[in-house]
Structures are given as C-alpha cells and as structure tokens.
Chain A
Amino acid sequence: MIGLRYALSLIGAALAAPAAMAQPVATPAAPPASEPAEVAAPTPAPAAPVPACELHVWPAARVSAITQGVGAGFGIIGALIDTAAHADQNKRDTAFITGTLDAQAQAQVLRDLDLPAKLHLPPSQVIIHDQGIDTKRDDPQRLSNSTTPCYTEFVVRSLSYFQNIAYRGQMRTFLEVRRFDGATVKLDFRDSRHEDLKVKLPKEGEDTGPATDALLTAFRGDVAFFSDKYARKYK
C-alpha cells in the first residue's frame, strides 16, 4: 500500500483588515540551509566594493479593494446599501491582494526591476525593508536610521483595487521617491499608476493562479512606468 505523504509548510501570517488597510506581513525567517561539507576552500575572488550610495525600499503599508455597483450612484443611502452589499467581496479582495502581493512578493519584483538603474541613480546598495511605512508630505526626515550621505528612499505607499460597472478591475499602485541631500529631503516625487486586470479576482474555492499572475504583472508594470516617469523628469 502506498501512503500519501503531505508536507505542510507554512509561510508567514499576514493581516488584512478594515478596507483600505493591510497590516504588516510577518515573514518568518527562511529555514537555515544545511551545512555544506567541508572542502578545501579555493582562493576567494576579491569581493566587489559595496556602493557608497543606499536605496532604501519599503513595501506597501496599505491595501484596499473597492467594488461598486449601481447603488453607488444614488446618493448617500444608495452608497451605504451598495457598500453593505459588496462588503464580503471587498473583504475577500483585500485579503487576496494582501496575501498575493505581500512584502516578499513585492520585494522580489522590485529586486528584479533593478531600481537604481531604472531611477538613474548612482550605483547603490538596495536595502529592502520588510514592513510597510506611512509617509507624510511635510516630513523632511529620513525614514531609516542610515546616515550615509548618498541616500534615496523608494516607498510603495499603497495598493488599491477598484471595480465598478464601467471598469472591470484596476490595480493602482501609489509610489514615492525621496532623494536626500545630507539629512534633508531635496526631492519628493509622488505618483500613481494603474493597470487594467484581464482577469477577475477569485472567489473562495476558485483557482487563484491566474489572478496572482495578473496582480504581479500589474504591480511590475506600475513600478516600471513610475520609475521611467521619474527618470525622464529628473534626468
């Protein structure tokens, strides 16, 4: 007799919540790699010098998903009824986006894009933080404790999904770049970009694969478009 063998592996817990917010994704450390066998070490190649500049990156601190029906167009009462009618769907979509585009997934996309090159920054050490952060327009201070003179911040401010009778489904990413001269911010560029999703977000029990791919593609497209726009504007 052949017994089925299931490996149940856990990847960290995320929190979603009252629409328009997603709590930070707690990402447990990956399991340690097994110790390599002891072998005669070849002469190590000289390590590449670490760039003097730093680019600090934060994933989204907020996620929201809003679907509106026709009721939204009939005043406050209509909007309330419509919100109540779509509450479960909005909760489900928010949770799905929070889980799919968690801090790890965002970090992977941002690493693949090579942000320093895209933003036309000098060679930079990229430091990706694992918790989202809220930024304020009038806050000139750095978001990290770094004191390196050549310093830039890239913040994914929020991810927002919107759908109504006119729009099938849009994924909008709100982004910000802050460049510093010493301790003071000298440039603060904010913008957003949306991509139309070709697939619907899944319901419970449906295959989440196509929507996962669509969200990752949309996020990649939004970041790439924003970065190109920034680079054109401030070249």
Chain B
Amino acid sequence: MEHRSHPLHGVMGEFETPEQLLSAAKKARDAGYRHVDAYTPFPIEGLAHSIGFRWTAVPLITLIGGVGGGLTGFGLQYWCSAISYPINIAGRPLNSWPAFIPVTFELTVLGAAIFAVVGMLALNKLPEPYHPVFNVERFAAASTDRFFLVIESRDPKFDLAESSRFLQEASAKHVFEVKDEE
C-alpha cells in the first residue's frame, strides 16, 4: 500500500510562561508570519492583538440582537393591542406605550444576550469537535499550564525547518509538527 503522508497543519511551540509566549507571538508577527494562532489556559491581555487579531464583530452582533429584540417586543405589543384586537376601555389609548416598556426591555436584553452568545460561538466556528491541534498529545496542557504558539502551514512564509527553528529561538521548550489527519 502506498504511503500517504498527512497534510501538515503547522508547527507548534510549547512555552512555559505567558510572557515567553507573548514575546514569541510578537516576534512571529515582526518576522512576517500572518497565519499564527496562540493557545492559552486563560485569556492573556494583548495576545490576540499581537497575533494580528484586532477587531471582533461580537459587540455589533449584540447590538443588532438588542435592537431587533426591542423592536420585536414593542411591535408585538402594539400590533396585538392596537391593530389585531383593539379593545376600547373607557376611551383609554390603545397604544399605551408606558405599559409596554417592561416587555420591550426584557426582549431587548433577551435578543442581545442570545445574539452575543450565538454570535460568539458562530464567529469562533464552534462547535467544531475536530481540529488538527488536538493531534499533538502535549496540547492537552493548553487547558492547564502550558502556552502554545502555532505557525500554520497556509502562511506564505511557512517553512517546516525554518519555522521550527524560529520557534526554538523564540525560547519554545518543545516544538511539534501538527498533522491534519482528517
């Protein structure tokens, strides 16, 4: 049977402290790498920025959800009370908007919260049960006390030997090849 080599996802460097990882990430950026990701057991300030990730659409999506929820809430009440089934009670206004505020508010919050969470998951492309980084056995420590930097093979500057050496020089304790076995 013909030997079929797995495509390479990238090279992964393991670091012991967040500071080492942060400086390595900055060096990678300075060296011209553009497809880099870092994996850390807790969020590290400035890390996303130093791998070139600045803007997230989560707040905008949340705003859209909130505005949509609020409009739905008020629209629903207005339509039910003033259009679909208007009841004249001693000439009181059908569009009694102050009484519609609580439900409008609740649906604003509900819409914004659902959009925030679903938006965050969707932008992160979760759920995603398989990812090449999980093929590296040591990677389980990314959820305990180790910090990882991956230079991905789709980076135009990627070169297995060169990029591995780069990570070693950036004080990575171990360097692994990340195979994509799918």
Question: Do A and B bind?
Answer: no
Interface residues of A (CB under 8 A from B): none
